Structure 1
Amino acid sequence: MKQFDFFAGKQLSGKQVSRRQLLAGTAALGSVFAAAGLTGCGGTASAAAVRDIAFWHLLSGGDGIKMQAMISAANAANPGFKVHPTVLAWGPPYYTKLAMASAGGRPPELAIMHASRVPGYAPGGLIDPWDMSLLAEHGVTAESFAPRIWDKSQHDGQVFSIALDSHPFVMFYNTDVAGKAGVLASNGQLQVVTSPQDFLAMAREMQKVTQAHGLSFGYLGSGSQMWRLFYTLYKQHGADMELTPGQPMKVDRDAAVESLEFMASLFDDTVAAKSGDIGTGIAEFARGGSGMLFSGIWELPTFKKAELPVDAATIPTLYGTPASYADSHSFVLPRQLNVDDGKRRDVYKFVSDMLKGSLSWAEAGHIPAYQPIVQSQAYRELTPQVHYANAADIIAYDPEAWFSGSGSDWQTYFAENVQNVLLGRDKAADGWDAFVRRTNTLLSRPNPV
């Protein structure tokens, strides 16, 4: 009797069906059933339809825990997809891997990028622009963001990043120390100071209470830490900084030198310790060894956990123009060789859910970028977060260049030229001029990505 090959649609002319043919045929038949939406006993079509979304980010520690909780909540609310996060090391390793993945055609569907790093990636086609009409389907529009944050999301007229937050460099202060030093205002918050001299005087009053230092600010080995304070002070001069490829750096040299001179004046072993790294500075403040700390808002959970009597505010405006260095954790779409429309729509829904669930992100200290959260009563009840929420209106993002931004080598070059200024070994003008020369070398080179 002749046998019929169901899969080839022909007879086998009396030949026996081999084991390999049988297995291949069975697999093909299973594919036919799956395509038709049929499953075996106990299976469901919906389970097979769940789409996997790869998501890269660089958030660890307390931020990482918060992020995972937000991802889990979004996954639970959206049974049609599941977001799988991959956490990579902060700084150059992360951005290098993200660029290589996009260039090599194997990127994740979604990634976190600091807004300040977008100008180095958008021109080279490593990230795709966002379709705001798709986000609008989920109630997210340009009006959902503070003006400065929204402006930063764009490059050459297209939206390349959707900010989750802004995370400014702020001033924490110990309310017990400040109260004993007599520098609290009637509202229980720190007195307003408007000049470098007034700030130094306030710090010295706090030092009399702590018998150690008035201010903690660790900086050794951290270009990011040095740059955050410098750029805050520089922008408070009302000064701009332009980094145009092929042209020398445009900068207000006097404002830059004055900012560095003030920073160096802090490290006299009374106002602040002559030297110390970030960890040393945070530990000193946490144990009550100083009255104030300059640091990022991401340190707030540490002080809350330690039950420190802490409040916070934007860094005092010492040179006339309110300004606060900040960056934003932003969602970007790594360039896909072949866009899966279903997954791409899932990504838009996921991002909208993350924005709408960012009150929990605010609890970790960050200022949500999504304005309905900031304007909610629940956010207004968060202290000290509400006391520095105005930072979103005075954000000073890094000057745009392919080499600038959070965790960049440019900030490392800043440290190489400025650290000795803060240690009292070099003059501020000499350190600054050396940094300008290094920057001009970078400006003479093309964007490698």
Structure 2
Amino acid sequence: MTSLDRHISRRRLLSGAAALAGGGMLFGCAPGASRSTSNLDYWHLMTGGDGIVMAGLVDAVSAANLGFHATQTVLAWGPPYYTKLAMASAGGRAPDVAIMHASRIAGYAPGGLLEPWDLDLLAEVGLKESDFPPLVWQKGMYDGKLYSIALDTHPFVLYYNTEHATKAGVTDALQTMKSPEQFTEVATKMQEVTGKHGVSYGYLGDGSQMWRLFYTFYRQLGAEMKLVPGQKAQVDEDAAVKALSFVQSLLDDKIASRSGDGGTATSEFLHGESGLFFGGVWELPVLKDAKMPVDARPIPTLFGTDAAYADSHTFVLPRQSKASPERRKHVYQLVAEILKRSVKWAGAGHIPAYQPVVRSPEYQELKPQSNYAGIPAYVNYDPDVWFGGAGSDFHKYFAENVQNVYLGSGDPAAGFEGFVKRLNVLLDRPQPV
């Protein structure tokens, strides 16, 4: 029995895993221990265009005659994926390697659902801390150990229609604006060109979209949000009200639709009915496929402090009851080879975490991707807490309290207060694992 098994009972792991994943059932288990040491099991949640790119990367590595082959299992994004991964890890029958959002590490590493990476083995395959942006590397740390290795950073950015910008005379202003008033002025001039809206921003029914823009501005105000189980949420209410009030001012049915959802916002921007678009870098393939005159940049620093919301896809080692040393070494090789080829991943809009790729001429020639490559230097992830992160209910709690603010019928102070009260209820509960 390992030290991990001695300290964490199977019952405790299973109950904690179910709570962390948001409930749900496990439909099948991970691969058995009898698999060949050269056949690796890799779970991820990449679908659509991302899935095609990831499959190509894995196939290329498998075909490189490195002594192993990786078999991919693609699961549904969100709770279904994290439920199955947590349960497989709790049972010690997890895949050799898996993708996890950086924002979920705080819920999985503390309870033993993940195993730390060996820095010496990473060095053997050519990976070291200095190859990654400091904030991105640090996000994978827990209790002094590295639990995740980032593949990318995928931030919320500002897209703009270059033809509309030229007609509106705001091309230079788009690069220099430094205040909410300047942004509003640029958006208003864009609206005068389009005749419909200046900005497309879809948020209705989507807590993640609401949170991404709010948290960007909240952090630009120099505000922090610390969520420590057993303590009250540490927040800056004044900054929150200021950020929410600014978003509310944009959603006036002139600068931006007061009630747009993700699909209508994207469609509006694609059809030239707005000049600006708040969206994730994952939207880039759709915009480029449409052959529209588009560029992108980080969301401007409007409140004094450089800050951008983002998450990262990361590689993790789910807990296994028996891990073959030979298979484990092959996993390190697989991850290293994918990272070294990640300029292909950048084609989907993501910023590669592996800096030798970012510095390469091939990446620097990618436009508009290289225009926002500096974001990892000031990236802001979700607060570290067991109930937060991608695919969790954290963003849903934000939406429940703040959506009426965005719609124009709610008070920013009251909305944020309701969100904080919900957080305090969760923080008062014991961490499941």
* TM-score normalised by the chain length of structure 1: 0.87
**Could you tell me how far 1:266 is from its partner in structure 2?**
1.1
In the alignment, the residues of structure 1 paired with residue 270 and residue 37 of structure 2 have an alpha-carbon distance, to the nearest angstrom, of 46
Larger radius of gyration: 1
Q: Which amino acid aligns with 1:322?
A: D
Q: CA deviation at 1:106?
A: 1.9
2:119 equivalent among 119, 128, 132: 132
1:51 to partner: Cα distance: 2.0
Residue 52 of structure 2: aligned partner: 65
Using the alignment, how far apart are the partners of 1:343 and 1:50 within structure 2? Answer: 5
Look up the equivalent residue of 1:104 and give its one-letter code: G
Provide the C-alpha distance between the structure 2 equivalents of 1:50 and 1:195, rounded to a whole number of angstroms.
Answer: 57
Which of 388, 397, 406 does residue 404 from structure 1 map onto?
A: 388
AA in 2 matched with 1:202: V
What residue number does 1:222 align with? 206
2:320 counterpart SS class: coil
What's the offset of the Cα at 1:105?
2.2
1:135-171 CA-partner distances (Å, limit 9, x unpaired): 1111111111011111111111000000001011000
2:47, 2:292 → 1: CA distance?
23
Query: Residues 339-359 of structure 1: CA distance to partner in whole angstroms, max 9, x if unpaired?
Result: 111111110000000100000
Report the more deviating stretch, 104-113 or 125-134. Answer: 104-113
The C-alpha deviation readout for 1:221-242, integer Å capped at 9, x for no partner, is: 1111111111100000011110
1:97 corresponds in structure 2 to 84
State the Cα deviation string for residues 219-268 of structure 1 (Å, max 9, x = none).
01111111111110000001111001100000110001111111111111
| CA-to-aligned-CA distance 1:105-124 (integer Å, 9 cap, x gap) | 22111100011110100000
Q: How does 1:303-314 map to 2 (within 5 A)?
A: 303-314=287-298
Q: How many residue pairs end up in the alignment?
A: 399
**Aligned-pair distance for 1:426?**
1.2
Q: Partner letter of residue 295 of structure 1?
A: G
1:51 alignment counterpart: 38
Note if contact 1:224-1:407 (Cα within 8 Å) is conserved in structure 2: no
Give the residue type in structure 1 aligned to 2:59: S
Q: Tell me which amino acid in the other structure corresponds to 1:406.
A: A
- Judge conservation of contact 2:150–2:314 (CA < 8 Å) in 1: yes
Instruction: Give the one of 170, 177, 195 matched to 2:157.
Output: 170
What SS is found at the alignment partner of 2:175?
Answer: coil
Q: CA deviation at 1:50?
A: 6.7
Structure 2 equivalent of residue 183 of structure 1? 170
Contact 2:78 2:391 in 1 (8 A): yes
Matched, 1:423 2:407: yes
Amino acid at match of 1:366: H
Tell me: CA distance 1:83–1:431, structure 2 relative to 1, closer, same or farther (3 Å).
same
Aligned residue number for residue 9 of structure 2? none
Q: What is the aligned counterpart of 1:292 among 273, 276, 279?
A: 276
> What displacement does 1:281 show?
0.7
One-letter code aligned to 1:133: D
Which residues in structure 2 correspond to 1:97-246 (within 5 Å)? 97-185=84-172, 190-246=174-230
Runs of 4+ more than 3 Å apart: none
Please tell me the residue identity of whatever aligns with 2:119. Answer: M
- By how many angstroms is 1:78 displaced? 3.4
Taking only aligned residues, the RMSD between alpha carbons, in angstroms, comes to: 1.2
What's 2:256 paired with?
Answer: 272
Which residue type is aligned with residue 291 of structure 1? G
Deviation at 1:280, TM superposition (A): 1.0
1:256 to 213, 224, 240: 240
Name the structure 2 match of 1:85. 72
Shift of the alpha carbon at 1:407?
2.2
Separation in structure 2 between the aligned mates of residue 224 and residue 397 of structure 1, nearest angstrom: 12
Say which SS state the counterpart of residue 63 (structure 2) adopts: helix
One-letter amino acid of the counterpart of residue 92, structure 2 = G
Contact 1:195 1:318 in 2 (8 A): yes
Q: Is the 8 A contact 1:50 1:82 kept in 2?
A: no
Is the partner of 2:216 in helix, strand or coil? Answer: helix
Whole-angstrom distance in 2 between the partners of 1:137 and 1:56: 24
- Considering Cα pairs closer than 8 Å and 6+ residues apart, tell me whether 1 or 2 has the greater RCO: 2
What's the counterpart of residue 331 of structure 2? 347
Contact persistence 1:50–1:80 (CA under 8 A): no
* CA contact 2:220–2:305 (8 Å) conserved in 1: yes
Q: Residue 365 of structure 2 corresponds to which residue in structure 1?
A: 381
Residue of structure 1 equivalent to 2:18: none
Following the alignment from structure 1 to structure 2, what is the Cα–Cα distance between the partners of residues 423 and 235? 22
Q: Contact conserved, 2:37 with 2:326, CA < 8 A, in 1?
A: no
Note the C-alpha offset of 1:286: 1.0
TM-score, normalised by the number of residues in structure 2: 0.90
Q: Which runs of 5+ in 1 are unaligned?
A: 1-47
**Tell me, what secondary structure is at the counterpart of 2:390?**
coil
Contact 1:49 1:80 in 2 (8 A): no
Residue pair 1:50, 1:79 contacting (<8 A) in 2 also: no
- Distance in 1, matches of 2:261 and 2:239, equals 26
* 1-structure distance, mates of 2:147, 2:153: 16
